[in-house]
């Protein structure tokens, strides 16, 4: 007796065969209990798929689920730090002023992107010095921020929301380094000039 292939059973269950082929295959199935069970399962499954009226989840829900399922970043080997150069994506000083606004805005907003992280810096003049506050957005937020160069070198920790605030520093050209989970995000040069 001829043994049916899975493809033949699927074609039979979906009704894709000519009448004479379908009759021949059904005679073979009638003589084989395993083929009967398999055909019944396929017909039930195909019937469920054809009668399915469910609606797909919204795109934003699917995107969030995919982000949640992303494999974690592999841990860096002991002593090895991956250095990532941040790329400037936005600078409020480069934007044209809206009608009716005067020059000399007090807060400068800088937005950087570095691999899986985004960095928002707010630079504010304060009594002849510069105050830097920021927020790091990304997969790992615990870390340390260091500002080096110019006259001063200062350090701050990043809180659980990714926020940090550095003490005021003098005018100058600096390098901002953010240490997070085996990565070093570098913003250079960071010009704090009058």
One domain for residues 65 and 157? no
Nearest Cα residue to 146 out of 171, 172, 113, 175: 175
Residues 6 or more apart in contact with residue 42 via CB below 8 angstroms = 9, 10, 13
Of 71, 92, 107, the one marking the end of a domain is: 71
Please compute the mean of the pLDDT values over residues 60-85 and round it to a whole number.
75
Average pLDDT over all residues of the chain: 85
Task: Flag whether pLDDT at 8 surpasses 80.
Answer: yes
Residue 131 CA to residue 133 CA, distance in Å, equals 7
Give me the CATH number covering residue 36: 1.10.10
Of 10, 44, 71, the one marking the end of a domain is: 71
Parallel/antiparallel/unpaired status of strands 82-85 and 183-192: parallel
pLDDT band for position 23 (cuts 50, 70, 90): very high
pLDDT band for position 141 (cuts 50, 70, 90): confident
Q: Are 50 and 152 in contact (CB under 8 A)?
A: no
One domain for residues 62 and 116? no
One domain for residues 100 and 47? no
One domain for residues 117 and 176? yes
One domain for residues 185 and 101? yes
One domain for residues 119 and 188? yes
Residue 70 CA to residue 81 CA, distance in Å, equals 22
Q: Which domain holds residue 181?
A: 79-192
Task: Flag whether pLDDT at 185 surpasses 70.
Answer: yes
pTM over 0.85: no
One domain for residues 116 and 166? yes
Dihedral-angle region of residue 149 (phi above 0 means left; psi in -120 to 50 means alpha; beta otherwise):
left
Task: Flag whether pLDDT at 192 surpasses 90.
Answer: no
3-class SS shares of the chain: helix, strand, coil, % to 5: 25, 40, 35
One domain for residues 114 and 137? yes
List strands edge to edge, sheet with 154-158: 82-85, 183-192, 172-180, 143-149, 154-158
Domain count, the chain: 2
One domain for residues 95 and 42? no
One domain for residues 89 and 153? yes
Q: Which residues pair with 172 in a beta bridge?
A: 192
């Amino acid at each position: 007796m001829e043994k049916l292939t899975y493809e033949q059973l699927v074609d039979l269950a979906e009704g894709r065969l000519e009448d004479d082929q379908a009759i021949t295959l059904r005679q073979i199935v009638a003589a084989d209990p395993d083929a009967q069970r398999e055909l019944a399962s396929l017909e039930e499954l195909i019937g469920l798929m054809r009668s399915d009226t469910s609606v797909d989840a919204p795109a934003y829900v699917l995107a969030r689920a995919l982000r949640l399922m992303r494999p974690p970043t592999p841990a860096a080997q002991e002593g090895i730090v991956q250095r990532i150069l941040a790329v400037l994506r936005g600078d409020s000083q480069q934007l044209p002023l809206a009608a009716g606004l005067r020059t000399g805005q007090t807060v400068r907003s800088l937005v950087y992107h570095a691999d899986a992280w985004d960095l928002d810096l707010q630079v504010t003049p304060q009594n002849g010095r510069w105050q830097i506050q920021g927020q790091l957005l990304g997969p790992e937020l615990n870390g340390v921020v260091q500002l080096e160069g110019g006259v001063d070198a200062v350090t701050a920790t990043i809180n659980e929301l990714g926020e940090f605030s550095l003490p005021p520093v003098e005018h100058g050209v600096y390098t901002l380094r953010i240490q997070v989970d085996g990565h070093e995000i570098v913003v250079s040069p960071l010009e704090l000039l009058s």
